[in-house]
Structure 1
Amino acid sequence: MTPLGILLRGAGHEPAHYALVLATGAAAIGRPVTLFATNAGLALFRRDAPLLSDPREARLEASGVAGVATLWEAAVELGLRRIACEAGMRSEGIAAEALSEGIELAGVVTFLEATRDGQLLSL
């Protein structure tokens, strides 16, 4: 199947949530997925999980829609490749230790290579 690369650069809950919706949906139908976060999008990969305190998270779960927490678990179970942009981390002052377990550190060339013959989405 065609690889899917998702570039998450947007700040906040909404772009991160939908990046996970797309990534887990694609992985569930057998597509190889690489989720690449940079700059403000790196909030999704942080160990302290700041997006979980957003009020939208509780509203989604209360309405029966999978939130970031549920989708994150699915992403791990589905084996999504998750890459934190090294340059983005430096520009945001984020140390590698601040990232969740299982996050790769790499640059844009690694992301582009992983999705060479696939589709790219940017949020």
Structure 2
Amino acid sequence: MSGPEGLSIVVFAGGYDRVHYALVMASAAAATNRPVTLFFTGRALRALVQEEEPGVLGWHDLDAADDGSRPVERDRFFAAQGLATFEELLEACVALNVTVMACEMGLRALGLPQGKALRPDVPVKTGGVVTFLNDAPKGGAMLFV
């Protein structure tokens, strides 16, 4: 395999397009047999919050997309264009064994109880920055989104 031995992505920004593209990068890297970790913190953690009411997933509350549209509207636009939706990408990441981490400090900063408010269909590991950095593969790439 050429290129970095793995990919570690800090998903900090809470804008829909940024989180969506972090999922694009993670699923593509995992599909090419690279180990991948997504470390969600800050406002991006809302992408992992379970639904509070039926059909309203946490990522619906992400910040507006780059074009100003609401996350659900942007996702529908992507689907109409034949592009992967947020849920499709998240499901691909889970199926491809991408490690999904939620920052303990970020959870507290958003007032979320550790692990309790997170989606049950996504295996999420909680940890801090030290855990994330220690788990990052030597010789791997690290991105901040």
Q: When the two structures are superposed, what TM-score results if normalisation uses the length of structure 2?
A: 0.80
Report the alpha carbon displacement of residue 41 of structure 1 after superposing the two structures with TM.
Answer: 0.9
Moved over 6 A (4+): none
* Residue 114 (1) aligns with residue 135 (2): yes
Q: Map of 1:70-85 to 2, 5 A cutoff?
A: 70-85=88-103
Q: Paired residue for 1:65?
A: 83
Task: Determine helix, strand or coil for the equivalent of 1:56.
Answer: helix
Quick check: 2:102–2:124 contact (8 Å CA) kept in 1?
Answer: yes
Quick check: 2:79–2:85 contact (8 Å CA) kept in 1?
Answer: yes
Task: Determine helix, strand or coil for the equivalent of 2:116.
Answer: helix
Residues 48-98 of structure 1: CA deviation (Å, up to 9, x unaligned): 223245210100011100011100110110011000000010011112211
Q: Map of 1:20-35 to 2, 5 A cutoff?
A: 20-35=23-38
Rounded to whole Å, the distance in 2 between the matches of 1:94 and 1:10 is: 17
Task: Determine helix, strand or coil for the equivalent of 2:34.
Answer: coil
Quick check: 1:12–1:51 contact (8 Å CA) kept in 2?
Answer: no
* Residue 98 (1) aligns with residue 117 (2): yes
Compare 45-54 and 113-122 and name the one that shifted more. Answer: 45-54
Compare 15-24 and 42-51 and name the one that shifted more. Answer: 42-51
* Structure with the bigger percentage of helix: 1
Quick check: 2:37–2:98 contact (8 Å CA) kept in 1?
Answer: yes
Quick check: 2:48–2:58 contact (8 Å CA) kept in 1?
Answer: no
Report the alpha carbon displacement of residue 116 of structure 1 after superposing the two structures with TM.
Answer: 4.2
Alpha-carbon RMSD = 1.3
Identity %: 37
Letter paired with 2:15: G
Q: Which runs of 5+ in 2 are unaligned?
A: 52-56, 61-70
